[in-house]
């Protein structure tokens, strides 16, 4: 199968081939993002004892396509006094980084686009860029609601990025590498070796900070409908609005994938170290139960579901509560944990040193 494929693509130059793969991947990612919106509406529907969208296509599966087509043919209003260039650039600034970050995400040991040593730095840089889209949108709209929403959002994202960064420092100390593939391989062993257990406070911090970074409920004061209507994208319509909407879901998928990689062993199988190793050598069952990209996808889907679940469950935080949680709870917790981990590593004690 693989040989046949390689003989088929052999005549094309490798760079062109890589670009084709990337293009296909980005298209698949777009489809995933579009269907994440449907998943959210369906999951929220079932959690609130209603059906959710189920009219377009079988079981409502055509809904994202219908939405995309509709928004594409809608007018993109440009408010007067708005900064024309920045107003049009802002949706790109929030969408592009959320996709670009996938360049370094490993799906399995050898399945990635770029295996670079500074992978985590690149991820940190790309996720930080997302805040520009929000600020630029709020400022360029020339609307009070948009400006207030973007300021709230910027302060919130920035506050939780600190906690997120400290959580990453903890992961780096435990793994000793910035390469995402190496970080996953360091977690090998069993489900109890994955960093969620030895770095439990950091895992929770990362997950909470991730939800706050993506401006999701319960931290969605940015678009708190009851006070500032829709926040930073109140002036956007048509495709401009759709891009912000999609960027939010692209960020959710990205944060879920990162949580799976950094704390839940990425593509590693949870059965490792529990069932005897001989099981993994069985023909079909072995491939299914053994480590592979499917586990990574499953873990990512689990975290995406958590995002939707939290939205259905928790009431919205007040803004001062959000800032207090970020600065006064998460930041001290991570600081303390880094010191604890540093002492353990220096004394060469388990569980981080072996």
Residue ranges in 184-243 that form contacts with another protein under rule CB under 8 A: 229, 234-235, 238-240, 242-243
Contacts of 329 (CB under 8 A, 6+ apart): none
Binding segment (CB under 8 A) for another protein, from list 55-63, 213-221, 296-304, 318-326? 318-326
Q: Please pick, from the candidates 59, 88, 294, 316, the single residue that binds another protein as defined by CB under 8 A.
A: 88
Site membership for another protein, residue 102 (CB under 8 A): yes
Determine the Cα–Cα distance for residues 252 and 249; give it in Å rounded to an integer.
5
Residue 323 CB, shortest distance to another protein, in Å, is 5
Q: Please pick, from the candidates 32, 162, 185, 333, the single residue that binds another protein as defined by CB under 8 A.
A: 162
Residue 43 vs 164, nearer CB to another protein: 164
Write the CA distances from 332 to 7, 143, 335, integer angstroms. 56, 37, 5
Q: Please pick, from the candidates 59, 108, 113, 301, the single residue that binds another protein as defined by CB under 8 A.
A: 113
Q: Please pick, from the candidates 38, 104, 202, 268, the single residue that binds another protein as defined by CB under 8 A.
A: 104
Residue list 293-312, contact with another protein (CB under 8 A) = none
Q: Please pick, from the candidates 136, 159, 252, 264, the single residue that binds another protein as defined by CB under 8 A.
A: 159
Residue 295 vs 317, nearer CB to another protein: 317
Contacts of 247 (CB under 8 A, 6+ apart): 91, 94, 95, 98, 130, 133
Peptide bond into 351 cis (omega under 30): yes
Q: Please pick, from the candidates 73, 276, 284, 315, the single residue that binds another protein as defined by CB under 8 A.
A: 73
What are residue 108's DSSP bridge partners?
111
Residue 43 vs 258, nearer CB to another protein: 258
Q: Please pick, from the candidates 63, 127, 143, 193, the single residue that binds another protein as defined by CB under 8 A.
A: 143
First to last CA, the chain: 40
Binding segment (CB under 8 A) for another protein, from list 5-13, 49-57, 189-197, 332-340? 332-340
**Which parts of 10-118 fold into alpha helices (H)?**
14-47, 63-72, 84-100
Q: Please pick, from the candidates 166, 206, 219, 249, the single residue that binds another protein as defined by CB under 8 A.
A: 166
Write the CA distances from 103 to 100, 116, 181, 184, 352, integer angstroms. 6, 10, 13, 16, 29
Site membership for another protein, residue 116 (CB under 8 A): yes
Peptide bond into 218 cis (omega under 30): yes
| Helix, strand, coil in percent for the chain, rounding step 5 | 70, 0, 30
Residue 292 CB, shortest distance to another protein, in Å, is 22
Residue 274 vs 339, nearer CB to another protein: 339
Contacts of 84 (CB under 8 A, 6+ apart): 78
Contacts of 120 (CB under 8 A, 6+ apart): 168, 171, 172, 178, 179, 180, 183
Residue 288 CB, shortest distance to another protein, in Å, is 30
Residue 239 vs 293, nearer CB to another protein: 239
Q: Please pick, from the candidates 59, 294, 316, 324, the single residue that binds another protein as defined by CB under 8 A.
A: 324
Residue 308 vs 325, nearer CB to another protein: 325
Site membership for another protein, residue 354 (CB under 8 A): no
Determine the Cα–Cα distance for residues 320 and 164; give it in Å rounded to an integer.
19
Residue 181 vs 290, nearer CB to another protein: 181
Residue 44 vs 333, nearer CB to another protein: 333
């Amino acid at each position: 199968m693989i040989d046949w494929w390689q003989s088929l693509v052999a005549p094309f130059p490798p760079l062109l081939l890589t670009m084709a793969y990337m293009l296909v991947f980005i298209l698949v990612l777009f489809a995933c993002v579009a269907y994440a919106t449907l998943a959210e509406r369906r999951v929220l529907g079932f959690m609130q004892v209603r059906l959710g969208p189920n009219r377009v296509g079988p079981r409502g599966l055509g809904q994202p396509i219908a939405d995309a087509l509709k928004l594409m043919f809608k007018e993109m209003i440009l408010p007067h006094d708005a900064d024309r260039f920045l107003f049009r650039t802002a949706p790109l600034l929030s969408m592009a980084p959320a996709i670009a970050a996938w360049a370094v995400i490993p799906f399995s040991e050898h399945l990635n686009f770029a295996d670079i040593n500074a992978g985590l730095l690149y991820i940190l840089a790309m996720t930080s860029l997302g805040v520009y889209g929000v600020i630029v949108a709020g400022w360029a709209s020339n609307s009070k609601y948009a400006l207030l929403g973007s300021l709230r959002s910027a302060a919130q994202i920035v506050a939780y990025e600190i906690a997120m960064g400290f959580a990453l420092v903890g992961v780096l100390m435990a793994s000793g590498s910035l390469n995402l593939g190496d970080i996953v391989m360091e977690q090998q062993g069993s489900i109890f070796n994955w960093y969620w257990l030895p770095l439990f406070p950091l895992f929770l911090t990362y997950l909470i900070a991730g939800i706050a970074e993506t401006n999701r409920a319960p931290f969605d004061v940015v678009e708190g409908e009851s006070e500032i209507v829709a926040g930073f994208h109140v002036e956007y319509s048509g495709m401009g609005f759709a891009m912000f909407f999609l960027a939010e879901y692209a960020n959710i998928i990205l944060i879920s994938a990162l949580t799976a990689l950094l704390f839940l062993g990425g593509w590693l199988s949870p059965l490792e170290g529990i069932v005897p190793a001989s099981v993994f050598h069985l023909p079909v069952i072995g491939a299914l139960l053994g480590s592979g990209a499917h586990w990574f996808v499953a873990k990512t889907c689990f975290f995406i579901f958590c995002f939707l679940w939290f939205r259905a469950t928790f009431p919205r935080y007040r803004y001062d509560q959000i800032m207090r949680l970020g600065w006064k709870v998460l930041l001290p917790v991570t600081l303390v944990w880094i010191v604890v981990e540093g002492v353990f590593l220096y004394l060469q004690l388990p569980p981080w040193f072996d």
